[in-house]
A = this chain, B = another copy of it.
Amino acid sequence: MANDEVYSCLQEMNFPMSIEGFIMANSLVDQSLNNLQKSGLRLTKQRKAMLEVLAKAENPLSAEETHSKLESATCDLVTVYRSLEQFERIGVVQLGVRENGTKVYCLSHGHGHHHHLTCRACGRTERVDLCIGEELEDVGRSYGFTDLSHVMEVFGTCPECQGGS
């Protein structure tokens, strides 16, 4: 089957994303699942579903948001909180904080380390590759601190949301 046949086939069935996106997301999920196992965490259908949600999301998601994107009854919100915490501990996801203090998570792999530009009004998010995390953490090390991590987020009002009050 040739590539363009695949494309038109997908188009006919209203496949909800690009094939590249699909393959990318799947390999991200696989990579992450591998990491879970290597770290001694168990592979459950709930965790798989969460990783799929995170892989498809272009934005970092809060626990609530992740939960609401799961098919209903996939799992409890508490499980999402607990799993995201574990994922972060083993480095499968990256933790961020919104301006209002909400914790948000995105998959670490495939994207590399990055940060976000978030619209205060509508939540629209753009990826920002600029980062001085290493330099910051070096400063931390120079003070004798260990286990360094950092949080960096940019907020603003996006073009569509300007002009509102």
For the complex formed, measure the closest distance between the CB of A65 and the CB atoms of chain B, giving whole angstroms: 15
A145 contacts which chain B residues (CB < 8 A)?
117, 119, 156-159
For the complex formed, measure the closest distance between the CB of A99 and the CB atoms of chain B, giving whole angstroms: 6
Q: Could you tell me how many residues of chain A have their Cβ less than 8 Å away from some Cβ of chain B?
A: 39
* A5 part of interface (Cβ distance < 8 Å): no
Pick from B95, B137, B152, B159: contact of A152, CB under 8 Å: B152
Q: Are A97 and B151 in contact (CB under 8 A)?
A: yes
Pick from B99, B103, B140: contact of A156, CB under 8 Å: B140
Give chain A's interface residues, CB within 8 Å of chain B.
95, 97-103, 115, 117, 119-120, 126, 128, 130, 132, 135-137, 139-140, 143-159, 162
